[in-house]
Amino acid sequence: MRIARFLAAGQVHYGIVEGDHLAAISGRPWEGLTVTGETFPLAEVRLLAPVEPPDVFAIGLNYKSHAAESAMELPKAPVIFLKAASSVTGPEEPVVLPAMAPDEVDYEAELAIVIGRPCRKVTEAEALDYVLGYTCGNDVSARDCQLKLDTQWARGKSFETFCPLGPWIETDLDPENAEISLKLNGEEMQHSNTQHMIFPCRYLVSYLSQVTTLRPGSVIMTGTPEGVGFSRKPQVFLRSGDRMEVSIQGIGTLANPVSAEQ
Ligand code: MG
């Protein structure tokens, strides 16, 4: 099942994707999936980020190939960081190069987990029962802030618009075997499979649930594979007018243009 959040006639709704229509539901998807009877043509609505997460957790260096290209040691446990919830944006919304740090902004295609019910101290075996579904994410990162200027990652990962999510939440996905890719201006820059994660989704949910209560709607960005811009020779950073497309097999494509801050 695909669950979208969308704007139609000035109102925000959640709905279930049914062919070329959306069947609106009452409340939020983790409160039950009761359809209201109202339907909207998919082509006529504006898709929004599929959740407004209370927290956005993120995992660094979760693919061996990306740890290698970053010249970092393989982590012995998940490397957890946070992105500001206010950095979330939706499909086709511009990622804005911040005036404060416009020069080294980079893309990161990631599978994003959406939590479906309160989750605290769960085992790996039961962890995925707490997941509502999965969506495409882009862990946009200002590398100068992240790697050179600051001693930790909060600012470089949290600028407004630095967390595109969408186009919808897919509830029926094997998160441990999905092709993932990112195209920049039509050219494939990243391509891998989620089977190459060092710590798979069930491990991440269980591990994070030992730290804190994962609340419904919370998002876990599960790390990016190789091919990011700062590791390339020459390096590639985002410029105004660029277009990014994150695709995950079984979910779809999340596309975002890039623009300069006005
Ligand atoms: Mg990342």
Residues 91 and 197 in one domain: yes
> Given this model, what pLDDT does residue 142 score?
97
| Number of domains the chain is built from | 2
Q: Is the pLDDT of residue 70 over 90?
A: no
Tell me how far CA of residue 82 lies from CA of 58, 59, 70, 111, 189, in angstroms.
6, 8, 19, 16, 25
> Given this model, what pLDDT does residue 252 score?
98
Ligand 1 centroid from CA 189, angstroms: 15
Task: State the DSSP code for 112.
Answer: E
Among 192, 204, 43, smallest CA distance to 110 is for 192
Ligand 1 centroid from CA 225, angstroms: 9
Q: Which domain holds residue 28?
A: 2-47
Residues 42 and 61 in one domain: no
Residues 118 and 225 in one domain: yes
Please, which pLDDT band fits residue 83 given cuts at 50, 70 and 90? very high
- Mean pLDDT, range 48-65, rounded to an integer: 96
Residues 116 and 204 in one domain: yes
Residues 12 and 75 in one domain: no
Ligand 1 centroid from CA 77, angstroms: 15
Residues 167 and 225 in one domain: yes
3-class secondary structure, 94: coil
Residues 104 and 34 in one domain: no
- High-pLDDT (> 90) share of the chain, %: 94
Which contiguous run of DSSP H or E holds residue 88? strand 88-89
CATH number at residue 254: 3.90.850.10
∠126-49-156 over CA atoms, to 5°? Answer: 90
> Given this model, what pLDDT does residue 67 score?
81
Ligand 1 centroid from CA 242, angstroms: 20
Whole-model pTM: value is 0.97
Ligand 1 centroid from CA 99, angstroms: 22
CATH number at residue 36: 2.30.30.370
Ligand 1 centroid from CA 115, angstroms: 18
Tens-digit pLDDT profile for residues 126-161: 999 999 999 999 999 999 999 999 989 999 999 999
Residues 70 and 17 in one domain: no
Residues 104 and 38 in one domain: no
> Rounded to an integer, what is the distance from CA 180 to the centroid of its chain?
12
Ligand 1 centroid from CA 22, angstroms: 31
Ligand 1 centroid from CA 118, angstroms: 24
The rounded distance, in Å, linking the Cα atoms of 28 and 32 is: 7
Task: State the DSSP code for 155.
Answer: H
Ligand 1 centroid from CA 227, angstroms: 12
Ligand 1 centroid from CA 45, angstroms: 30
- Mean pLDDT, range 192-210, rounded to an integer: 97
Tens-digit pLDDT profile for residues 232-262: 999 999 999 999 999 999 999 999 999 999 8
Ligand 1 centroid from CA 120, angstroms: 23
Ligand 1 centroid from CA 228, angstroms: 10
Residues 20 and 121 in one domain: no
Tell me how far CA of residue 183 lies from CA of 54, 74, 96, 170, 237, in angstroms.
29, 26, 18, 21, 13
Ligand 1 centroid from CA 261, angstroms: 23
Residues 37 and 77 in one domain: no
Among 214, 223, 111, 212, smallest CA distance to 157 is for 223
Tell me how far CA of residue 5 lies from CA of 63, 168, 225, in angstroms.
30, 7, 27
Residues 17 and 119 in one domain: no
